[in-house]
Amino acid sequence: MKLPTTIKAEVKLTTAASVQVSAREIDALRVGDSTSVGLLAVLFWCGDRDVDGSWVIVDASRIRNRQTDSLSVTKANLLLTSRASDGLSHLRRHVADHWPAFLYAFKDDGLRGHAALVEVLARCHRDGLVAERLPKHSILAAEHRATVKEFIECHGEADAGRIMQDLLAYLLAFVGYREVTNNAVGVPDFVLSDLIGAAARAITVVVELTLDEASRLLDLCRSVGDEELTRAVGRSMPV
């Protein structure tokens, strides 16, 4: 699936069932061409186990600005918008597949604070070390929620939100963006650009395997904890 050439993002962490978004923030997410996208990404921590600790990502162009200085967007509306056919399914799947492991991998750095975290994230991104940092084992949902809770209790909602913003920027960059521009002051929160391997990503490779070989490959993917490949191989297996 084709990825946006440029991503602009506004990121929120909220302990409520809605989030405030200013007109200034929405305006900053406007893009000038069809190959780019502006995203609103919200991490809820509101007592709803179905969404707590997971990112809800929407195309900001689908948020209707009512010509007010700010508007409140509810969790229900964001979830509904995130299910629309808008070309972002690949990005959402990437985030959903890797977010618990990514947070776990950079947990200690993040608990030390924003400056320490960004230094490590930028270095790992620049040197191509992100994949090596990710744990090979699956992160349990309860373990992931406990980590999110620890960040909020350690840093408070506002500072934890800043740290989650840092993490999401580099998690999205991990899909193939060289340049990460974080805005310490101003909007949007970050911009990703210089997409690499765009042509290669559009190529689908077909490998012919016997059923026995495919079953062994599926077992190997499971044994090393590669959830993404496990799903891909599993989808090709006969029911």
Same domain, 170 and 229: no
Confidence of residue 197 (pLDDT cuts 50, 70, 90): low
Least confident of 71-75, 101-105, 195-199: 195-199
Per residue in 120-133, pLDDT (tens digit) is 999 999 999 999 99
Query: Is 1 contained in some domain?
Result: no
Residue 81 lies in a domain: yes
Q: What is the 3-state secondary structure (H, E, C) of 113-157?
A: CHHHHHHHHHHHHHHCCHHHHCCCCCCCHHHHHHHHHHHHHHHHH
Average pLDDT over residues 96-103: 97
What does DSSP say about strands 177-182 and 70-74: parallel, antiparallel, or unpaired? Answer: unpaired
| Any domain includes 19 | yes
Residue 202 binned pLDDT confidence (cut-offs 50, 70, 90) = very low
User: Do 73 and 110 share a structural domain?
Assistant: yes
Number of domain units in the chain:
2
Q: What is the mean pLDDT of the chain?
A: 90
Q: For position 58, what pLDDT does the model report? A: 97
Q: Is the pLDDT of residue 203 over 80?
A: no
Are 225 and 115 members of one domain? no
Mean pLDDT computed over 207-222: 86
Q: Which is nearest to 70 in space by CA: 30, 130, 131, 23? A: 23
pLDDT value of residue 198: 46
Please tell me whether the peptide bond between 188 and the residue prior to it is cis, using omega within 30 degrees of 0: yes
> Do 228 and 155 lie in a common domain?
no
Q: What percent of the chain has pLDDT over 70?
A: 93
Range(s) of the domain holding residue 61:
6-197
What is the per-residue pLDDT across 45-72, written as a single tens digit (0 to 9) for each? 999 999 999 999 999 999 876 667 888 9
Asked if the structure places residue 115 within a domain, the reply is: yes
Please tell me the predicted confidence (pLDDT) of residue 206.
65
Residues 26 and 84 in one domain: yes
Query: Which stretches within the chain are classed as H helix?
Result: 23-28, 75-82, 89-105, 107-112, 114-127, 130-133, 141-173, 198-201, 211-223, 227-236
Please indicate, yes or no, if residue 59 is contained in any of the structural domains: yes
Quick check: is 221 in a domain?
A: yes
Q: Is 80 exceeded by the pLDDT of residue 155? A: yes
Amino acid 65: pLDDT = 65
* End-of-domain residue from the set 182, 197, 212: 197
User: In the prediction, which pLDDT does 221 show?
Assistant: 86
Distance between CA atoms of residues 48 and 135, nearest Å: 26
Residues 75 and 191 in one domain: yes
Same domain, 116 and 22: yes
